Amino acid sequence: MKPNIILLLRTNNWLIKTLKDLLEAEGYNVIILEDSLALYFAVINKKLDIDIDVLITELMLTKMDGAELTKRLTAHPVSFPILITSFHTTEEQGKELEEQGAFRYIHYPIDYNQLLDTVLEATAYSLDVKY
């Protein structure tokens, strides 16, 4: 069974397509969502039709940003790691995001090899937590 990766991104077609293609080429099932608030309520109310193995979210989102989403989700707690991506933070801010519950912070421009290594690590963590 392929691990499920949720990409929570703003409408940025070239980035969505690139990340989706990259992850699918590695055997991941990729689901793209744009509404962080809807995802949050679906997760806490257990209304999702899929089992999330890894969530990749941008920091800058409408309705609820990636940091707030991570903070709220990890307060429940969730059984999947959350990776946060952004153009708009420093390395120090990225470490703060990890201290607040993010599994990893990945700064743009994304090093695709680093992303794949991080997703593999996050997937292994997710499977360990679930089983």
pLDDT digits (tens, 9 = 90+) for 80-113: 999 998 887 888 888 888 988 899 998 888 889 9
**Joined tokens for residue 85:** 């991506």
Q: Is the pLDDT of residue 12 over 70?
A: no
Q: Is the pLDDT of residue 11 over 90?
A: no
Highest mean pLDDT among 1-5, 92-96, 112-116: 112-116
Taking each helix axis from N to C end, the angle separating 13-25 and 112-130, rounded to the nearest 10 degrees, works out to 60
pLDDT of 2: 74
Integer Cα distance of 21 and 15 in angstroms = 10
Integer Cα distance of 130 and 125 in angstroms = 9
Integer Cα distance of 82 and 119 in angstroms = 10
For 57, the enclosing helix (H) or strand (E) is: strand 54-58
CATH fold for the domain made of 4-130: Rossmann fold (3.40.50)
Q: Is the pLDDT of residue 13 over 70?
A: no
The whole-model pTM stands at 0.88
Integer Cα distance of 48 and 77 in angstroms = 16
Integer Cα distance of 131 and 128 in angstroms = 5
| Residue ranges of domains in the chain | 4-130
